[in-house]
Amino acid sequence: MKSFDDAVDLRSIQQYLYCPHRFGLMENDCSWAENAFVSRGNLAHERVTEGKITSARGTVQERSVRVFHDEWGLFGVLDCLELKKDKNGVAIFAHDGKYAVSIVEYKVSAPKNGKIRIEDRMQLLGQKICVDSLFSCHAETYFYYHDTRRREKIEFSEDDYAFLKKTLEEIREVKRNGLIPPIRKDQYCSGCSMKDICLPGKRSRT
């Protein structure tokens, strides 16, 4: 079990992999700024209301579900946990019968070039690690895109698990030592809400 200080919020995975420098500013310099992209993302997630929705066909959607994994030192909130009746599934506390479990993470828009960003994939993998352990299952994982109103199924490899483990160690290093990592040479900044604080054009990159 990781110590309380070493626990990593699932959101931090996405934030760190998007830009380690930005993550350091937020975590250790208490900097923050919003822009239209951030507001749109927040609104999209607000529409995912808390509570339980049951469909006519017996599929249950639990919204804003809190999860954790002690060994991985992860915690956070899922947008949606979907439980579909399945005799080969797993028993779920407070529900009758057995269920196949799916995680659905909501995104404002589908990736323009069809390539899912690593930060989004790794956040979803962190969620899966928590859910698989808590419910003793092999949850399916999906992104749901508000603009296209479509779901995309995501699969993970052993390499993905190893990459996430390495990323979590990097995040802990930044948090423990109060670091603000340098700006990456190939950092893409379009859409970043913290440009006015960071001033990336006036800074050297590694």
Of 16 and 142, the one with the shorter C-beta distance to ligand SF4 is 16
**Is residue 72 within 8 Å of 110, Cβ to Cβ?**
no
Least spacing, CB of residue 14 vs ligand SF4, in Å: 13
Of 12 and 141, the one with the shorter C-beta distance to ligand SF4 is 12
Helix runs in 29-66, H state only: 36-46
Q: For residues 155 and 42, what is the distance between their CA atoms, to the nearest angstrom?
A: 26
Query: Judged by CB under 6 A, which of 9, 17, 22, 148 binds ligand SF4?
Result: 22
- Positions 143 through 202 that interact with ligand SF4 (CB under 6 A): 183, 187, 189, 192, 194-195, 198, 200
Of 17 and 74, the one with the shorter C-beta distance to ligand SF4 is 17
Task: Write phi, then psi, for 7 (nearest 5 degrees).
Answer: -70, 140
**Is residue 76 within 8 Å of 9, Cβ to Cβ?**
yes
Q: Which residues pair with 145 in a beta bridge?
A: 107, 150
Query: Judged by CB under 6 A, which of 7, 17, 19, 124 binds ligand SF4?
Result: 19
Of 46 and 196, the one with the shorter C-beta distance to ligand SF4 is 196
Of 24 and 73, the one with the shorter C-beta distance to ligand SF4 is 24
| Closest-CA residue to 186 (of 15, 20, 68, 11) | 20
* 15 makes contact with ligand SF4 (CB under 6 A): no
Q: For residues 13 and 25, what is the distance between their CA atoms, to the nearest angstrom?
A: 15
**Two tokens, residue 50:** 């808390």
* Residues binding ligand SF4 (CB under 6 A): 19, 21-22, 183, 187, 189, 192, 194-195, 198, 200
